[in-house]
A and B are shown apart, each in its own frame.
Chain A
């Protein structure tokens, strides 16, 4: 397996799922070091912003569930916190 960071994988998974106009992934793990859920290697706490037409007509909960589903593999391997900002292009404008 090639060495990828969780940041890279989140970016790739979200890009594949939502054909987004914008994806920003930020690793916040260092700010949570030592706190419950934080791991010595980091890669536990992230914030993402996704702008995609795919969110049109979806409730806040439905948008988040779609994002959670897209990155389920990361939750299964130690992702602990994911702050989500999910917007349609209109809302982001």
Chain B
């Protein structure tokens, strides 16, 4: 990976089983879409690392090309891109998110 920002992003994803690239922090989300994903992860009691893209314009831009995904939030589980708010919500509602966490060995409560 030639882009140094991509290397930084990859390091975050490698170091944390669940990473949410978001606007604001898990305690104080600054965007409704980010807030919704935080709410779902919190509901499932999933430990996760929040990366506040508003604090770093390079990551804010870089995560879009890294994931080939134009919007934020973006959720990664064990290195795999899961999606943004719509997909996380659909998977949660279908009961698939808990299954995915189970499969990937991430601690969580039942949906």
Contact of B86 among A72, A75, A80, A85 (CB under 8 A): A85
How many residues on the B side are at the interface (Cβ–Cβ under 8 A)?
Answer: 19
The answer to whether A68 and B70 touch across the interface, beta carbons within 8 angstroms, is yes
Q: Which segment of B1-9, B12-20, B77-85 sits at the interface?
A: B77-85
Q: Interface size class for chain A?
A: 10 to 19
Task: Flag whether A1 is at the interface (Cβ < 8 A).
Answer: no
A-B contact count (CB 8 A): 36
- Mark contacts of B7-43 with chain A using CB atoms, 8 A cut-off: 1 yes-contact digit, 0 otherwise: 0000000000000000100000011110000000000
Q: Which segment of A3-11, A16-24, A59-67 sits at the interface?
A: A59-67
Q: Which residue of A lies closest to B96 (CB)?
A: A60
Contact of B83 among A37, A60, A81, A83 (CB under 8 A): A60
Q: What is the CB-to-nearest-CB distance from A70 to chain B, in angstroms, rounded to a whole number? A: 12
Residues of B within 8 A of A (CB): 23, 30-33, 54, 68-71, 81-87, 90-91
